[in-house]
Structure 1
């Protein structure tokens, strides 16, 4: 019985591999998925530079995304995130970041990054407030294959 089960398991493994290969889709490697996430982070940052903080953070957010902000407050949901960053204090603000580290789950549908960010917020007296820190983002692969953040 044990021998039959082992043979059956081997058969299923071979069948799965042949099926995946015949579909023409190679299984992504962990390194290729990490590269994808680095690229998504770069696209996210570029989008924010081009379209503004509210548009960018809403565009890359999963519908159920949550952002942790000062005083341990949470902003939950894409619409709330857009509304939060539509505050006039963010209209002239600039933010820049780059991940220092990326990790991807074995299943390839979740990932997280962390790295350094810099916020530059113009003040009314022509000065600029500069805030530097560490960010942490959790990414989730969507059903269409794109990545959206679920936590920032």
Structure 2
């Protein structure tokens, strides 16, 4: 899935500003019904948050095109992955070693739903919904989905990298947690 955010220009992040952000080139946010969170309808969205949404869009697009190899390349040297029910993966080298999927056989996509930049403008986080698609041994489609949380940090050289990526399976539908099995 293509994330419309990936096609927008990167905004400079000078200051934290809290007013409405209106910039040319952001019509894609308002026009694309596939985006769950619309930055133009959130007047408190800062330029820093837009930077993080831009990064998240570029990250998602790179993974759509390059699979696991691209996924691993976005992490800081000391990056961490926390996934539901699995041990933590520590460091970009370990992350890259485990992220070996081919985008032709497994497609991972996600849509950011929000972002928040820290007051120093060198660290922030994004969150949203992800979906993974593949086929089982019989060729039947397999779809997994859930929520994710990404912590971004700005390195001394000015580049941004993923410091933490965490995900959890989609929660049960409302009421499913408390119903008794039927005989």
In the superposition, the TM-score normalised over structure 1's length comes to 0.76
Is 2:52 aligned against 1:37? yes
- CA-based RMSD of the aligned residues comes to 1.7
In structure 1, the residue corresponding to 2:97 is in which secondary structure?
helix
The number of aligned residues is 124
**Unaligned ranges ≥5, structure 2:** 1-11, 18-45, 166-183
Kindly provide the CA deviation profile for residues 24-80 of structure 1, in whole angstroms up to 9, marking residues without a partner as x: x9833352211111111010011011111x212211100000001242411111111
**Structure 1 unaligned blocks of 5 or more:** 1-24
Of 93, 109, 112, 1:79 maps to: 93
State whether structure 2 residue 156 is matched by structure 1 residue 143: yes
The Cα offsets for residues 72-125 of structure 1, whole Å up to 9 and x where unpaired, read as 411111111111112xxx331111101101011000111011100001122121
In 1, the alpha carbon distance for the partners of 2:13 and 2:136 equals 51
Matched, 1:130 2:143: yes
| Greater fraction of residues in helix | 1
